[in-house]
Chains A and B, each alone.
Chain A
Amino acid sequence: MSTATREAAGPGGARRPRIRRASWRGVVTVAGHEFRLRVRTGRWRWLLGAWFAVLLAFTALLRWALAETRPTPVTGPVPGPGAADVPPPAPLGTPMLGGLMLFVLGLALLVVPALTAQSVNGDRERGVLATLQVTLLTPAEIALGKLLAAWLTALVFLATTLPLVVWVMVEGGVGIARVVVTLLVVALLLGVMCAVAQCLSALLARTTTSAVLSYLTVFAATVGTVVVFALALPLTTTTEQVTERVPVWDDPPPGEAPGGPADRHAPPPHPPGQGEPDRWETRTYERSQVRPERVWWLLAPNPFVILADAAPAAEPRFDPRTGERLSNPLDPLGEIATAVRDARASEDPQAVPGIVPSGPEQPEPPRPDPVWPYGLAFDVLLAAGAIALTIRRLRTPVRSLPRGVRIA
């Protein structure tokens, strides 16, 4: 990476050098420095203590509430005469992990803008950014180092919740994969938020503006996506012509009062197959329907959706005595995931114009395709763009400065 630092300035042209490189050592220098500043300035012990206390209280209350309202365990499909034994109760770990991780994510999304939204313009205001820019640190090293420090700080908060995660695992019902994936996704989403908040701090002159906009970004990602989805849903309503092939019996089946001619086309009172229909008739009618599969992507960038959908499905439980499959316990992550996956896959075969195959029941469809890869990819790309923009804004010498920005 030490080569191709600079594009040679064109002959006679005042082309500016493009320094994009970042050495690991430079990034670590900035990150270590920033992290040290953060550690020295804040009342971290109190802040982390309060954070842990809030989460501990939440987890304890959640467990209590779940234990109180735990439904009486349902046995296998049919309680046979031999099912005197009651199967084990649904473990509390599944709903606890979901509740805890969603809560942690929500709380962390409130903390992160406070950590990062003044990263660049705050340094400029304090008059320390320019002295950094005249050193041999590249803009990329400054941006990535600052981001790394901010992200590490956010991860410290996440790490504080680990004892609670262990508690949840002790309660049972959650696999290690589910725990690891949810923690990783939360960590990644916090990094995305750090990058976006830092970018805002690089774009805007005032620290208050960038802080407010960071919080609005969090709001847009969490609440805004849901609101827009809900508002967009009615706009997707389509009116379709549905053509169906229906059996027609000319003569009323035995035992039925003879109907008028209007009744002739009514569906048979008995399921088809009870005697051969006299003929088949094609009927066409209009039907309007909302099409969530057209706007599901509006929900995809939502951090809560990504977290819920990326978590591996809760393992099915079986009664150790009978081998029967037990109903899944309450699972907030799973429910959100099912909702968004259904929204994406809601192309109901009934709604497809054309001949609907009638006959024996269709096999149960497999779990619909996931939504989280799209959401996570979008968010990570957003973060990458934010980092690129931050680097651009840190590049010196500066030709044009935004309004209200002083370089030093």
Chain B
Amino acid sequence: MGETAVPAAPEASPAAGEGISAAHVRRTFGNVVAVDDMGLTAPAGQVTALVGPNGSGKTTLLLVLATLLVPDAGEIRVAGHDPVREPREVRSRIGWMPDAFGTYDTLTPREVLQFVAAAYRLPRDRHAARARELLALVHLEDLADRPVHVLSRGQKQRLGLARALVHDPGVLLLDEPAAGLDPRSRIELRGILRDLAADGRALLVSSHVLAELEEIADRAVFVDGGRTVDEHDLTELRPTQRRPWRLRSLDQESLLSRLDGLGVTVTGQPGPAGVDVMLAGDEEAADLVAALVRDGVRVVECAPAAGTLEAAYLEMTEGRR
């Protein structure tokens, strides 16, 4: 039997400039409409967050992008190819990490990664080296030769990420990658994902832990009920977004009276952590701080009380209620 051509040289840098673009994607299962009308753009070099409540169709959309499901309708390009007509081309360029994935419990992380390397048809002499590199990347060297079942959930999650990276894909589809990670692992994951994006890869990360995505996402796509509700560039959204800010001063009484005098409404109950006010963006916050300082209020803190994503998400769900 002829040896199949290795589609993408694994050493080659990921195809820059080709991320994901999808429009009007629809997918039903019998009578159930899982994805009604979704569209998104995930450019290379950026982390795009896919945000939505449970059952909003995030996972189904990722399955379509990962060449596992045929959509009923929609225009999709993943890494420059159509996942329905050219699944092989897409597969050689994407790394997929499902939300709930099984592991071969009796194998070791090293064996798992070497097998995946073979499955992606890396040259045979590269398998061991590639497994070593990835184990170092996700900090699993100590456990490399222990059976997978001794790994904690977070460690398995890191192994899952390593598996998605074996063939050095230019596009990464990560479904809830931070689920089950302890704080330290989350920070490390954040670092890894930012590095991957900095290399020119396109990352699409789904989650409903907004604080998680806040730190890493450049863009956010909000989905609900199988539809794309909103798509934001977070760096653009941040300065002008209406969201709660938290103010704290040395004397809370004077702060409250000054706010009252300036006509700023306080939201919620003032507590020892400070006073929350609703402000429409950075400009307004700066003006408020300036006014307070001018009036002699000794302000020690002024910061957004909710993340950009959280605020946008709440705003979105507010409108639907």
Q: Which residues of A contact B (CB under 8 A)?
A: 1-2, 5-6, 9, 14-17, 19, 21-26, 29-30, 33, 36-37, 40-41, 123, 126-128, 130-137, 396-399, 401, 403, 407-408
Contact A16 to B120, CB < 8 A, known contacts A22-B1, A131-B101, A407-B69: no
Closest A residue to B62 by beta carbon equals A408
Query: In residues 238-277 of chain B, which contact A (Cβ within 8 Å)?
Result: none
Contact A127 to B100, CB < 8 A, known contacts A2-B5, A33-B115, A135-B120: yes
User: Across the interface, do B116 and A135 meet the contact criterion of CB distance under 8 Å?
Assistant: yes
> Is B36 interfacial (CB 8 A cutoff)?
no
Instruction: State the main secondary structure of chain B at its contact with A.
Output: loop
Among B84, B102, B118, contact of A14 (Cβ-Cβ < 8 Å): B84
Among A14, A30, A41, A401, contact of B29 (Cβ-Cβ < 8 Å): A401
- What residues of chain B lie closer than 8 Å to A24, measured between beta carbons? 1
Contact A397 to B107, CB < 8 A, known contacts A2-B2, A2-B3, A136-B119: no
Query: In residues 200-251 of chain B, which contact A (Cβ within 8 Å)?
Result: none
Number of B residues whose C-beta is below 8 Å from A? 41
User: Across the interface, do B85 and A14 meet the contact criterion of CB distance under 8 Å?
Assistant: yes
Most A CB within 10 A of own CB, among B3, B5, B87: B87
> Is B314 interfacial (CB 8 A cutoff)?
no
- What residues of chain A lie closer than 8 Å to B67, measured between beta carbons? 134, 396-397
Closest B residue to A133 by beta carbon equals B68
Q: Which residues of B contact A (CB under 8 A)?
A: 1-5, 7, 29-30, 63-64, 66-70, 83-88, 91-92, 94, 96, 98, 100-104, 106-107, 111, 115-116, 118-121, 163
**26 A-B contacts (beta carbon < 8 Å):** A1-B2, A2-B5, A14-B84, A16-B85, A19-B87, A23-B2, A23-B4, A29-B118, A40-B107, A41-B106, A123-B102, A127-B101, A128-B103, A130-B68, A130-B101, A132-B119, A133-B68, A134-B67, A134-B91, A136-B120, A396-B67, A396-B69, A397-B67, A398-B68, A398-B70, A407-B68
- What residues of chain A lie closer than 8 Å to B3, measured between beta carbons? 2, 23, 25
Contact A130 to B98, CB < 8 A, known contacts A29-B119, A41-B106, A396-B67: yes
User: Across the interface, do B98 and A396 meet the contact criterion of CB distance under 8 Å?
Assistant: no
Within the complex, the shortest CB–CB distance from B189 to chain A, in Å, comes to 19
- What residues of chain B lie closer than 8 Å to A399, measured between beta carbons? 70
Closest A residue to B122 by beta carbon equals A136
| Distance of A137 Cα from B115 Cα, bound (Å) | 11
Contact A135 to B1, CB < 8 A, known contacts A29-B119, A397-B69, A408-B68: no
Contact A135 to B4, CB < 8 A, known contacts A36-B111, A127-B102: no
What 18 new A-B contacts, CB under 8 Å, besides A16-B70, A25-B121, A397-B84? A1-B2, A6-B86, A17-B87, A23-B2, A23-B3, A25-B1, A26-B4, A33-B115, A33-B118, A128-B101, A130-B98, A134-B67, A134-B94, A396-B67, A397-B64, A397-B67, A397-B87, A408-B100
| Distance of A403 Cα from B120 Cα, bound (Å) | 30
User: Across the interface, do A2 and B87 meet the contact criterion of CB distance under 8 Å?
Assistant: no
- What residues of chain B lie closer than 8 Å to A41, measured between beta carbons? 106
Within the complex, the shortest CB–CB distance from A215 to chain B, in Å, comes to 26
- What residues of chain B lie closer than 8 Å to A134, measured between beta carbons? 66-68, 91, 94, 96
- What residues of chain B lie closer than 8 Å to A33, measured between beta carbons? 115, 118
| Distance of A2 Cα from B88 Cα, bound (Å) | 13
- What residues of chain A lie closer than 8 Å to B91, measured between beta carbons? 134-136
| Distance of A36 Cα from B118 Cα, bound (Å) | 15
| Distance of A23 Cα from B6 Cα, bound (Å) | 12
Within the complex, the shortest CB–CB distance from B188 to chain A, in Å, comes to 22
- What residues of chain A lie closer than 8 Å to B103, measured between beta carbons? 128
| Distance of A401 Cα from B163 Cα, bound (Å) | 26
Contact A398 to B69, CB < 8 A, known contacts A21-B4, A126-B102, A136-B92: yes
User: Across the interface, do B69 and A16 meet the contact criterion of CB distance under 8 Å?
Assistant: no
